[in-house]
Amino acid sequence: MPLANLELIPLSGLIGSPVRDRAGERLGKVVDVIVKLRDGGYPPVTGLLCRVGGRRVFVAADQVDDLGLGQVLLSGETFNLLRFERRSGEVLLKEDVLDRKLINVEAGKLVHANDVALARVGNRWRVVGVDISRRRLFWRLMPGRPRRPLDASSVIDWSGVEPFLSHVPTARLLLPLRRLKRLHPAQIADIVEAASHEQGEEIIEAVHGDPELEADVFEELDPEHQVEFLRNRSDAEAAQVLAEMGADDAADLITELDQDRRSSILLLLPAKQQAKVRGLLAYNPGTAGGLMSPDFLAVSAETTVGTALQRVRRADMSMQTLTMVFIEDAEHVLTGAVPLPELLRADPLAHMESLVEQAPAKLRVDADLVDVALFMTDYNATAAPVTDAAGHLIGVITVDDLLEAVLPEEWRRRAEAAASE
């Protein structure tokens, strides 16, 4: 819906405005605007919260003839004087939305609702956008300022935002998971870190409906927030999250939890995941063993290219890890590595050993962070194999693992700040 084609009425221009009957007689003033939020679409105005004398009363939307800057005109001369009580699903725009943060789903960041745009769409008044410009906030705060219409250029379409509703007792709506799925897990994590604890909880509760997405978001959170959002969960609930995470990320998170919870949560992990995490916990976190993931794809030298590609398609691991297929002998000693693009270009009937031209470069499990960084730089590697003292392939370090380890903390804070601008 092009907002430039609509007459946008600012919420701030309605609050405090006189309510007049059909004859022009003043009956009271507007306290708030009531809408019914839905999962998608433009929320319809269901009524106004008005003050008449000392009473807060409800004026139904079908009794309103016109909304404008500075006044509200009713279609009749009387209305019900029953006290206002919230009904299920009702949201008050001034109390619940104005001057609060919302998620800009299109931009993947938090925005501040400095005003709310309403417009007549068909035969109903609806919320159509949010003004996020600072100049709108400054204008509202200026003493004695006249009421001013909205500039459509600073209003973002309501279809692109999601409000937080946990503070609204009657909303009974979660943030819609289907819309959060449009964001990358890293974007969701940045928003969680930039939000208040209550807002972050609301996001985490929404993504809980998709265990895989929830795990991806937890992997992207900084340790402080990971612990924060697991603190009030039971050990079983925490284990469910860790079970969906990569083993290396799960191991890192285990070390951040309170000492008295680590063993019990570890014991609740599925056997395969538990074994991987226990293995990683044995290594110094500042070494290749502490950085690596135990998930990788290795085949024998006699495996055909076509069979190797079939295994790539069936592999349940990150795409970063699958940039390389490794070759090992019967004793699991690393003998070669083939980048996925080269595999895709090769003859499907060729054996994997025919694609190996030189001995594979590899990292020892005790290599420190500097050695890892130099190795991946020298070899232009996006994935580096890690071996034990006997040359057995035991894990792989991806470039994102390295970047996360070397990224200064102040740079991470910069990303959080950007998510809230």
pLDDT tens for 10-30 read 999 899 999 998 888 898 999
- Write down the pLDDT at residue 141: 76
In the sheet with 298-299, reading across from the earlier edge strand, the strands are: 298-299, 324-328, 334-339
Domains defined for the chain, CATH in brackets = 3-163 (2.30.30.240), 177-282 (1.25.60.10), 298-405 (3.10.580.10)
Q: What is the dihedral of CA 314, 315, 316, 317, to 10 degrees?
A: -150
At residue 413, the pLDDT reads 57
Query: What letter would DSSP give residue 257?
Result: S
In whole angstroms, how far apart are CA 283 and each of 286, 328, 397?
8, 23, 14
Q: Are 97 and 90 in contact (CB under 8 A)?
A: no
Which DSSP string corresponds to 311-336? HHHH--S-TTGGGEEEEE-TT-BEEE
pLDDT value at position 126?
Answer: 93
Residue 103: pLDDT band with limits 50, 70, 90: very high
More confident residue, 355 or 5: 355
pLDDT exceeds 70 at position 416: no
Number of Cβ within 10 Å of residue 336's Cβ equals 21
Q: What is the mean pLDDT of residues 386-406?
A: 92
Q: Residue 229: name the closest of 260, 195, 263 by CA.
A: 195
Q: What is the pLDDT of residue 374?
A: 95
Tokens representing residue 381 in the block: 């590697």
> Residue 144 above 70 pLDDT?
no
Q: Tell me the pLDDT band of 316, cut-offs 50, 70 and 90.
A: confident
User: Residue 194 and residue 188: Cα distance in Å, rounded?
Assistant: 10
Strand extents, DSSP E, 251-367: 298-299, 324-328, 334-339, 363-364
Please provide the DSSP assignment of 48-93 as one string.
EEEEETTEEEEEEGGGEEEEETTEEEESSS----PBP---TTEEEI
Q: Which phi and psi (to 5°) does residue 389 adopt?
A: -60, -30
Confidence of residue 81 (pLDDT cuts 50, 70, 90): low
| 196: region left, alpha or beta (phi > 0 left; psi from -120 to 50 alpha) | beta
The pLDDT assigned to 235 comes to: 96
Three-class DSSP category at 34: strand
DSSP lists the bridge partners of residue 370 as: none
Please name the residue that has the structure tokens 């019900």. Answer: 80
The string over 87-116, giving b where at least 16 C-beta atoms fall within 10 Å of a residue's C-beta and e elsewhere, is eebbbbbbbbbbeebbbbbebbbbbbbbbb
The segment with the largest mean pLDDT, out of 43-52, 160-169, 271-280, is 271-280
What stretch of H or E contains 127?
strand 124-131
pLDDT in tens, 317-326: 888 888 999 9
The reported pTM is 0.83
- Coil, strand or helix at 269: coil
